[in-house]
Amino acid sequence: MKATQDTTKTVHAVRTAGGLSFRVDARALVVIALLVAAAAFAAVVLIGSGDYAMSPGQVVTTLLGDGTFQQEFIVTELRLPRVLVGLLVGAALGVGGAVFQSVSRNPLGSPDVLGFGQGSAVGALVVIVLFQGGPSEVAAGAVAGGMLTGAAVHLLAWKRGVHGYRLVLVGIGAAAMLTAAIHYLITKANLVDATRAVVWMTGTLDGRDWAQVWPLLAVCCVLIPLVLGHGRALRMIEMGDDAAHALGVRVERTRLVLLSCAVLLVAVATAAAGPIVFVSLSAPQVARRLTRAPGPNLAAAAATGAALLLVADWTAMNAFGDRQLPVGVVTGVLGGCYLLWLLVAERRAGRI
């Protein structure tokens, strides 16, 4: 194996004896490692938070199987599932947001803006309001709503291919219509169903158990590696369809696969925790600024999303006294501030 280093950047070109070559960005690897460590630390701290407080050492000891019976019950049955759902939802939203922003070549091309979260919400509300379904049925409705919204937006944006600005404009229109449908469904619900709907739509990790962990884990284990495997092609698509075609990328097929994976990731994440806003918008941008690397930064976006969501959940649990807030409230406040900053930065750069 031989390695050559670009003297202007922390990028290494690695060539194996079999002729395989790939580029390794040292800074990006360090950033990803630090983000994973930050997410792991946030997970340990979050597991130890609550009415029965535990130190990080006690949490680690319990996770290794050396805790007391009470500690093992609290950690493995009550708190660990919540944290795992947070990690998986954050990673899924980060990857989904990175794909949409890369395909649209627009930092505002997020599932929050394009209506996919609203589509999942409509699917869940239909089940809650019209069929009084239980948690499993609500989750299935959220996934179906997200997938149907993704298919509709893709078809409406298609005109000899799907292009960035058309996708964003169609998505914004779909989001407006779906928001109106959400309000209509809430007005038609009785008090009990309306309360359930509002609680679900806020986005929360409270009460999550292993029933939410396993389906989410299965989907993430299949789709996130699939998206990462298309990372090089996605980076070429960012340069434009003509350039990607010239480099041998099957643009429309690759774009369809990536968008389908991203829609399903966002839909399943929404089904597990409700529509947690702005993580898919901010995580890819934060990751790109930390790595200072071109391209979609998919792995960094996944790690950033996981860390952001756990930090937001800890903030929601501990920063407001005895009153615990849903994590969606905190991500909404932080994401709104970030969106304003992003709009100002884009305007100063002359891009909007």
Express each pLDDT in 133-160 by its tens digit. Answer: 777 888 888 889 888 988 888 888 777 6
- The pLDDT assigned to 155 comes to 82
- 3-state DSSP: the chain helix, strand, coil percent, rounded to 5? 75, 5, 20
- The pLDDT assigned to 3 comes to 45
- The pLDDT assigned to 7 comes to 40
- The pLDDT assigned to 4 comes to 45
Q: How far apart, in whole angstroms, are the C-alpha atoms of residue 242 and residue 89?
A: 34
The top-scoring range by mean pLDDT among 90-94, 276-280, 286-290 is 90-94
Residues 6+ apart with CB under 8 A from 336: 278
Is residue 307 very low, low, confident or very high in pLDDT (cuts 50, 70, 90)?
very high
List the strands of the sheet with 2-5, edge to edge.
Answer: 2-5, 11-15, 21-25
- The pLDDT assigned to 238 comes to 73
Is residue 86 very low, low, confident or very high in pLDDT (cuts 50, 70, 90)?
very high
Is residue 38 very low, low, confident or very high in pLDDT (cuts 50, 70, 90)?
very high
Q: Determine contact, residues 138/200, Cβ cutoff 8 Å.
A: yes
Q: Determine contact, residues 213/87, Cβ cutoff 8 Å.
A: no
pLDDT tens-digit readout, 11-28: 555 555 555 455 667 788
